[in-house]
Amino acid sequence: MSISGNIKTIQDKIRETAKRCQRDPDGITLIAVSKKQPIEKIKAAIQAGQKHFGESYVQEALPKITALTSPSLCWHFIGPIQSNKTQWIAENFQWVHSVDRIKIAERLDKQRSPFLPPLHVCIEINIDQEDTKSGITEANIVPLAQAIVGCPRLKLCGLMAIPKFYDTLEEQRGVFQRIKRIFDRLNQKGFALDTLSMGMSHDFQAAILEGATHVRIGTAIFGERSD
């Protein structure tokens, strides 16, 4: 299958799934996760009309962003954030999905240029409380959300999560429901979030059924990654 064919197949599934739960498919953004993929494949995706791209490693992403510079593309940082890399993220990305510490938020805020629009931010939540994953625990979200709201160069948009790999649709929906409930609770507290970044190649349909607004899909578009 070609990259353009894969994108079309996924877009069809997004539309079909949105219809199944009476959602507007235009409210769901497909982020093509291009980490560990060569630039030629990204170019093929752009040719197919893809505009949103996700990257996880700063050093790998910068040459790609520089080479593909175009005002119509939107770059999302989705990987773990080291504090010595925040400057590069603040200068080169439009979105960061993986903020999980106040210190990181404060650095991004300080380093975001006043000549750029505010950096769109999601809080990453470690929904299955796995030691191997980054993300904040539910109990600590509110202070982080308040800190981000207090940062003038950041715009708090929503939540991101990478659940465990669940095999069945029921289990997948269960974990996405838990994320949605946390999202709803934050909105009841007045945070006005509109972004739920959840769902990857194997579980994006379950995520859409539970309210995902951004799905992050790598292998189903580009094939296996070269590590």
Ligand X SMILES: *Cc1c(COP(=O)(O)O)cnc(C)c1O
The site for ligand X (CB under 6 A) is made up of 33, 35, 56, 78, 162, 200-201, 216-220
188 vs 226, beta carbon nearer ligand X: 226
Which residue sits closest to ligand X, CB atoms considered?
A: 218
> Could you give the CA distance from residue 213 to residue 29 in angstroms, rounded to a whole number?
6
The C-alpha angle 35, 81, 32, rounded to 5 degrees, equals 25
Q: Read off the tokens for 165.
A: 């790999």
Amino acid code (one letter) for 3:
I
* Least Cβ distance, residue 108 to ligand X (angstroms): 17
Q: Do 210 and 175 meet the contact criterion of CB atoms below 8 Å apart?
A: no
Q: Smallest gap, in angstroms, from Cβ of residue 6 to ligand X?
A: 11
Rounded to a whole number of angstroms, the minimum distance from the CB of residue 157 to ligand X is 16
Give CA–CA dist 141/146, Å, rounded. 9
User: Are the C-beta atoms of residues 156 and 191 closer than 8 Å to each other?
Assistant: yes
Kindly report the backbone phi and psi dihedral angles of residue 111, in degrees, each rounded to the nearest multiple of 5, phi listed first: -95, -10
Contacts of 152 (CB under 8 A, 6+ apart): 109, 118
Whichever of 122 and 193 has its CB closer to ligand X, that residue is 122
Q: How far is the CB of 85 from ligand X (least distance, A)?
A: 15
State the Cα–Cα distance between residues 164 and 179, nearest whole angstrom. Answer: 13
Nearer to ligand X, 108 or 160 (CB): 160
First to last CA, the chain: 21
The position carrying tokens 């700063």 is 58
**Is 145 or 198 the residue whose CB approaches ligand X more closely?**
198
CB of 166 to ligand X, least distance (A): 13
Q: Which residues pair with 196 in a beta bridge?
A: 159
Q: Which is nearer to ligand X, 99 or 200 (CB)?
A: 200
CB closer to ligand X out of 112 and 216? 216
